Amino acid sequence: MGLLVNGVWQQQSLEELSKNGNFVKPDAAFKNWVTADGSAGPTGVGGFKAEKGRYHLVVSYACPWASRTLVMRVLKDLEDIVSLSVVNPLMLEQGWTFEAGDKVVADPIMGADYLHQLYTLSNPDYTGRVSVPILWDKKTGQIVSNESADIMRMFNSAFNDLTGNQVDYYPESLREQIEQMNEWIYTTFNQGVYKAGMASSQSAYEKAVTDVFETMEKLNQLFTKQTYLLGDKVTEADWRLFTTLVRFDAVYYGHFKCNLKRLVDFPNLWNYTKRLYHQPKIADTVHLDHVKIHYYGSHRHINPTGIVPLGPDIDWSL
């Protein structure tokens, strides 16, 4: 792990990301928005108009936060509108890198070796974490946003006139319910698995694991009555949940010690995950080889040998 301080790369320990033994996810630093007409979004400043070929998305196939932007990119048919780079799954001394490897897509902006070089290209004096995803503006030469939740919503609506894809995953009529669902799932599950895996005290770990499995039990019961989180319509909330679920048995069960049960032991929740996985183009965003290499290979404070397990063998058939 690492961060930039006044534009200089520095290493950062796990303990520096913890408070009283609890893992704390840092806030995003870049909060501008791409909008259909270039006006300012809910945060940041204006000037980022939706245009074909102007924006570039950098993701890790391993990262659940980055992967939800990748999911929205394909759902909204933005593959030819917003270009893509993919970092190497290993994140070691220099953080995320573009070191050549299977499925790595090099940086076309400056031919960067390391992701932190794009951060300092955008802001030479930047101080903060260097994370994926980032949405880059080729026209102005800067990062628009590194907040995955915001990028999802930009992709959901800003480019509709360019693609003709009017499917809305954040409809006005459901926004209050979506926000409530997002808050619950983020706190207890999306973030909960990290709180468990990165915990530096037994009490913090046990609290996090309890929250994770209470949430999975409630979700499993919910899907006895309905198809998706808010009924029969897929929304943003489902995709925010999906990117954690799809990694659960591969890494969170073992590597993050969330091992009371596997996802496949919750039949309704497992079938829900597979329904989402089999929606058009979604399976192509899931690369569990990158997921396992990243978690088991990068988190040397948890897995000092860096050995990546061969299993589990997951059957995604419906």
Q: Using the predicted structure, report yes or no on whether residue 281 has a pLDDT greater than 80.
A: yes
Report pLDDT for 14: 45
Greater confidence (25 vs 165) lies with 165
pLDDT tens string 120-150: 999 999 999 999 999 999 999 999 999 999 9
Tens-place pLDDT, residues 174-220: 999 999 999 999 999 999 999 999 999 999 999 999 999 999 999 99
Rounded Cα distance between 236 and 224, Å, is: 21
Q: Give the active site residues.
A: 63, 194
DSSP annotation of 35: B
Task: Say yes or no to pLDDT of 169 above 50.
Answer: yes
Instruction: Report pTM.
Output: 0.95
Which class for 72: exposed (0-12), middle (13-18), buried (19 or more C-beta within 10 A)?
A: buried
The 10s digit of each residue's pLDDT in 282-299 is 999 999 999 999 999 999
Residue pair 278/95 in contact (Cβ under 8 Å)? The answer is no
Strands (E), the chain: 2-5, 8-11, 18-19, 22-23, 55-59, 83-86, 128-129, 134-137, 142-145
**Structure confidence at residue 1 (pLDDT):** 66
Give the whole-angstrom CA distance, residue 181 versus residue 170. Answer: 12
Whether the pLDDT of residue 21 is over 90: the answer is no
Mean of pLDDT values over 234-253: 98
18 pLDDT tier (thresholds 50, 70, 90): low
Percent of the chain with pLDDT over 90: 93
As a dihedral over the C-alpha atoms of residue 150, residue 153, residue 157, residue 163, rounded to 10 degrees, the angle is 90
Chain mean pLDDT for the chain: 95
CA angle, 134 then 92 then 147, to 5°: 20
Q: Which residues contact 164 (CB under 8 A, 6 or more apart)?
A: none
**pLDDT for res 139:** 98
Residue 105 and residue 88: Cα distance in Å, rounded? 8
Q: How far apart are CA 221 and CA 260, in angstroms?
A: 17
Rounded to 5°, angle at Cα 67 from 79 and 77: 20
Q: Are 142 and 122 in contact (CB under 8 A)?
A: yes
pLDDT at 17: 52
Residue at 170: amino acid letter: Y
Q: Is the pLDDT of residue 273 over 60?
A: yes
Residue 24 has pLDDT above 70, yes or no: no
- For residue 93, what pLDDT is reported? 94
- Identity at 289, one-letter amino acid code: D
Length of the chain measured in residues: 318
Q: Are 21 and 199 in contact (CB under 8 A)?
A: yes
CA 146 – CA 108 distance, rounded (Å): 18
Q: Is pLDDT of 263 > 50?
A: yes
**Pick from 27, 36, 53: which is nearest to 148 by CA?**
27
* Res. 16 pLDDT band, cuts 50 70 90: low
Name residues whose C-beta falls within 8 Å of residue 88's C-beta, 6 or more positions apart in sequence.
96, 97, 98, 99, 100, 101, 104
Above pLDDT 70, what percent of the chain? 95
Nearest to 57 by CA among 38, 76, 36, 39: 76
DSSP H or E stretch at residue 239: helix 236-247
Structure confidence at residue 28 (pLDDT): 79
Average the pLDDT over 56-65 and give the result.
98
